[in-house]
Structures are given as C-alpha cells and as structure tokens.
Amino acid sequence: MSLRGHLVPNASNVFREAWTMVNKVKDSERFMACAEAWIYFIVKHFKNKEISVFMDDITRHLSNRVGIERFHTQLHNILQHLLNYIEDFEDTFHMNYLLPYLDMFGSDTNKSMRCKIVLEAYRTRGENVESSDPVINDCLMYMCKILHDSVDSLTVEDEVRQISRLIACFIFRVDYGNDLEKYLNFYMEARGAFIRLDYVQSALVQCVNKLMVLSVSNSRALVKNSFARACSAYCYITIPSITSPLIKLQLYILTGQTSLLNGCLGQADACLKAASMVVSDFPATLEVDGLIIDAEPILVSYIKQMLSILLVVPVDCPDLEVLHQVKLLIRVVRQYSWTDPMQPHVLYLYVLDILATATLDTYPYRIPDGKLVDSNDVLYGREPQFVADVDSICTVVLDNILERLYSLVDKPNSQTKLAFELLLHIVVRADLNEIQMATLAVNLWKLSKKNKTAMDSKIEEKMMSYIIEFCENEDDEIYHKFINKITGKPIGSTIKKE
C-alpha cells in the first residue's frame, strides 16, 4: 500500500525502520529513488528534526560522489516539495542542511537556479518568517548574493527583473526593530553586494529614506542629526550608480525632502542640485514596461514638484543668492532641448506662481517641525531686499514668456492659449496698480480674443468667470476698472446670477 499523501499511525516507527534500511543502500541511484519517494511521507508527518536527519543523510550519501549531476533532477524535486509543503516554513532556514544541500548542485548556474526557487518560496510563503533572526538573514543573504552574481550582460531583462524583486523582497522584510543603526549597517552591506541591480539599489535608497523619517522621532537631537546626515550621505552616494534617469530624479527629490525633514540643509541642497543636473540630461523618451513613451510630461510634473519644494528651502550658505536653486532650475529648463516648445512656458507660468507665493507673509505650507528648519517666510517674510530679488527673477521669467508669445505669430491657436494663461497669472499674482502690469494685462486680453476658436468655449468661460470673480472680490479699485475695461460692463454686473 502506498504511504504517499496518507496519515499513518506510528509514523515515527515506520520512518525509523524504513529509513534505516534505505541508508544501508550503497547504490546511489536506488538510494535517490527511495529518497525521492519518501520526501512526501516525511514532510506530511514530521517537522524539523526528522526532516533535518533525512536531508543530512542525502547530503552525506552524495557528497564527493562522481557524476552527482545525474541526480540533480531528483535533488530538485525533493527541494521543491519540501519548500511547497513543509508546515513551518521558517524551519527551512534554521536547519543546517540547506546550504550544503544547495552546494550539491555544483555549477554556479545550477546553484543559482535552486537559490531562486528557495527565494521565490520565501516570497510567497515567508510573510511570517522572523526576519530579525541573524541565522535566517545570513542564509538568505548568501542565496541572494549567488543569485546576484549570476547576472551578467547576457541575462535577459525579464530574468534581471525577477531576480531584483526577489532580492528586494528579502531586503524589505529584514527587521531589526528600533535599532536604526543596525538597519543602516545592513543596507551598507547590501549596497556593495547587489551593485549590478538598479531595482535593488533603488529599494535600498528608499529604505534608508524611511530610516531618516523614523529618526525624526528620536529625542536625542544630536544623535538624530548625525544619523540623518549619514543616511543622506548613503543615498547621495548610491543614487548615481542607478542607470534610469527617471528613478535617479525621483530618488534625489525624495532624499532632498527627507533631509529637509531632519534639518540637514547642506545634504538637501546637494540632492536638489543633483536633481537639476539629472533634468538637464533627461532623455526625450522613456521605456516603461517595454513601451516607449514621451518623457516630457513626466519631466514637467517632477520639475513642478521640485519648484514647490524649493519655495520653502532656506539658503544654507550666506555666500549664495536667495532662491539660487530656483534660478539654477530655471536656467536648466531654458537650456533643455524640448521637443514640445510650449512645455518650458508651462513651467515658467508655474515659476511665477511659486515666486508670487514666496513674497507672502505666511506660506501655505512649510517644512514640518520648525525647530529644525525655518522656511523662507520666517527668515525673510516681506523683507524689501528679498521681495526685490524675487521681482528680478519674475522679470526674467516674464520676459522669456513674452518672447515666446511674440514668436507665435504664425501659430495663432498656441498664441491665444498662452496669452490667456499668462493673463490669468498676471491678474491673480501681479499688482495691477503698476501701470506696466495693468497695460500688459489689457493687451493680453486683446490678444487672447483675436482667435475665438483657439480655446474650448467651456474652458474659456470658466477661466473668464474666475478672473471676473477674483477681481470682484478685490477691494482695490484698479481690479474693478480692469474688469470694466475688458468686459465693457460696470462692476457687479459681470457675474452671472444663479
């Protein structure tokens, strides 16, 4: 009668007597045939002690045997069944048999294939494995290194992706509790061990950024700041090794933000400057999941995010100009080779929004925990020199937009849209009491009305309603006169009654 798949009374006696007989078999082929058959019975009835004896006996019987490669299929089947059906999956890594068993597969290629099987089982069954156990972590680290070292220039992209995710899964599950320095030491070791895999390097940078966020709750300010600087330095050193410009940009921005959160202004400034350099060399297209996509809309969104961060970043060095990072980013945007010539002007309009916000008494957002970092509204507020510096930047940006606007004579649709967008920004952000601004606003209005088919009528109506409502709510009479000028209607009669 077959014992496979059935619960058997006195299973320990059955195993002891039967396996004693099997162990006496000298012929390796007969021995492995028996072992492959008995693995089902053993995994179903026993836990770590008997399984360890069983696997150790296999290793001892085959070690140093000539022609062991002919048993690789049976060794593979035994390992696969063990990983799939062992009741306490964690026991697999506590037993001493696993690594010697893997060594029997000989060549690096065969061994890496089996390590991948073990790590895949860990990914699917190892959610509850105690990842703070050094024995388990060392075992998994050993297998991850073997898998990493199997990657070369000939490895197909899908295989690299699978290996990267298996290694990252292990990294994410490592748990040292509240010992943040132990985490950082582990991530430093992992960075050197998995240098070939972008995905893993990216995962490590994200993990270290998470450490920086966790360190904010540390009550010892000096220790916290020192640890945060070490984390920021780790990220700053690691990110350049990543080949994807998009991931580089994302991680530089993320590290800059977490550095600010910890009061590491020098590190934040360096990361944001590095992000600007990535922007300057950003490709026109990106490959995402095998598809080639236009990179410029993605780039625009990240530049906007950077500008929003730079609003509150204080100047760390007194020798640097106010908002020097904003000026650098504007210069990068101007020098970038855009395939869509309208994209930089979308960004210039956003720059005007940021610069207008920079002159407010209180910003709409700030860096959390003001004890570490004061935002520019606290440092400068509406200080005359600061406002003058911001105005000078606005003038340069506005000149760039107007230069582009005048060059669009042969493209009336684009000219009309840009004119209307700029009009909206000037009315909301600028001071119409300045004659030049008021005149420019009126001229932009006239220009935007030249081509009535350029804009969607519903969008135009909503934008116009917003401008009118904004001016209606302003106490300054100049805004009322402006509405009267462009609509020909007295104040109060321009808003539709519901």
- Split into its structural domains, the chain has a count of 1
How does the average pLDDT of the chain come out, rounded? 86
Distances (CA, A) of 45 to 6, 14, 97: 9, 11, 19
Compute the distance between CA of residue 283 and CA of residue 393 in angstroms, rounded to an integer.
27
Compute the distance between CA of residue 35 and CA of residue 13 in angstroms, rounded to an integer.
17
In a domain, 462, yes or no: yes
In a domain, 233, yes or no: no
In a domain, 420, yes or no: yes
In a domain, 433, yes or no: yes
Global pTM reads: 0.87
* Phi, psi dihedral angles at 150 (to 5 degrees): -80, -10
Longest dimension (CA), the chain: 108
Distances (CA, A) of 151 to 117, 137, 191, 238, 243: 16, 21, 16, 20, 16
Taking the CA atoms of 138, 142, 143 and 149 in sequence, report the sign of the dihedral they define.
Answer: positive
Taking the CA atoms of 184, 187, 192 and 193 in sequence, report the sign of the dihedral they define.
Answer: positive
For residue 111 the two structure tokens come to 């061994």
| pLDDT tens column, 222-251 | 556 789 999 999 999 999 999 999 999 999
| pLDDT tens column, 42-56 | 888 887 888 888 899
**Kind and range of the H or E element at 286?**
strand 285-288
Q: Which domain holds residue 453?
A: 409-497
In a domain, 422, yes or no: yes
In a domain, 475, yes or no: yes
495 pLDDT band (50/70/90 cuts)?
very low
Exposure b/e, 291-323, CB count within 10 A at least 16 = b: eeeebbeebbebbbebbebbbbbbbeeeeeebb
| pLDDT tens column, 203-215 | 999 999 999 998 8
In a domain, 485, yes or no: yes
Angle at Cα 73 formed by Cα 71 and Cα 75, nearest 5°? 70
In a domain, 452, yes or no: yes
Residue 454 has a pLDDT of 59
